Amino acid sequence: MSIDIYEDQMQNVWLFGQSVLYTTQTVPRKEVPEGWYCYDLCGTTANPERPRELVDRAGQNFAGTILSSVPLMRGRTQGKLVPDNFWLTSVPATLSDFCAEEGIPCPRPPEKAFQAAEEPVEALEPVSCG
């Protein structure tokens, strides 16, 4: 199950000293606003729901998704351990609430493709110019 980051509430958390958004659901990467960063959290085999490591995409033991306005990993970093660097604030927030609280511009949701019922196109008469 995935979340609509523009409508649904997530949790405001602290991770590596940064205020970020967290959800236990997946975030479709195509929905991530330009200039924002999305990471997955992995748990361990013994405790898959407790965040242990931040990765680009979780293959196993998915423990949640992080949405951040700042990068949390450097270029070639495969993963970053989080046990002592992850604090839930228990404050639910939408993306717009988070942006207002952090004083950053709120991204707009991508425009949905509008598909109108196809109507027959009438032949156009040539227009003479000049």
Confidence of residue 112 (pLDDT cuts 50, 70, 90): low
pTM: 0.79
* Segment 43-83, tens digit of pLDDT: 988 888 888 999 999 888 999 999 999 999 988 888 999 87
Q: Which residue pairs, CB below 8 angstroms and at least 24 apart, start in 10-13?
A: 10/67, 10/92, 10/93, 10/94, 10/95, 10/98, 11/88, 11/89, 11/90, 11/91, 11/92, 11/93, 12/89, 12/91, 12/92, 12/93, 12/98, 12/101, 13/66, 13/86, 13/87, 13/88, 13/89
pLDDT at 124 over 50: no
pLDDT at 97 over 70: yes
pLDDT at 42: 93
